[in-house]
Amino acid sequence: MDIGKELKRIRVSQGMTLEELSNKCGYSKALISRVETGSVSPSLTSLMKMVSSLGLKLHDLFTSIERGQASVVHKGEGRKFFTEDKSTTEFLASNIATKKMEPIKVTLPGGYASADEPLAHYGEQFVYVLNGKIELTANDETYKLGTGDSMYLPAGTPHKWRNISKEGAELISVVTPPQI
């Protein structure tokens, strides 16, 4: 995380000079320049004062840094969790808590059902079947989905899914905001 580089990017994007930022926050141009180049790590108080002088909150700076960083998860390296029924959920992005969506890959053994009764959550959800056949029940309607089929569920839609074959099935699910 390069705080100084992002601080400079924001300052320049606002058309503010080092001198103007110096006058607003009370720190020398030399100190601000060293912070921006990464040769000095500012105290939390100093950083808050600089960010505030740019018309932002500290949270805005870190959110801006986070947005600019790609998250790569190589095949099979996503964090996984397993259910008693041998269903596997693999996270396809890192640092989910700071993201606006949650992409996961779900592997369902033959006959597996996600729940006895449909469950609702406050997030929107998109499901794409990578392979296999599943039955997805949403709002008391049942849909059969096969390889390449997809479905979008608005927030609050009660739903459940079931692998309707003896073979395994895989699907990608993207939920926003993250739920797990």
User: Tens digits of per-residue pLDDT, 98-120?
Assistant: 567 889 999 999 999 888 898 88
We report the CATH number of the domain holding residue 134 as: 2.60.120.10
The SS3 call for residue 37 is: helix
For residue 151, what pLDDT is reported? Answer: 96
In a domain, 41, yes or no: yes
Q: Which domain holds residue 130?
A: 80-176
For residue 3, what pLDDT is reported? Answer: 83
Contacts of the segment 57-63: beta carbons below 8 A, 24+ positions apart? 61/3, 61/6, 61/7, 61/10, 62/1
- Of 39, 67, 95, at which residue does a domain stop? 67
Mean pLDDT of the chain: 86
For 38, the token pair is: 């990464």
Regions of the chain with pLDDT less than 70: 1, 63-70, 83-85, 95-99, 179-180
Helix (H) / strand (E) containing 172? strand 169-176
In a domain, 95, yes or no: yes
Q: Considering the entire predicted model, what is its pTM?
A: 0.61
Is residue 92 domain-shared with residue 53, that is, in the same domain? Answer: no
For residue 67, what pLDDT is reported? Answer: 58
What's the total number of domains in the chain? 2
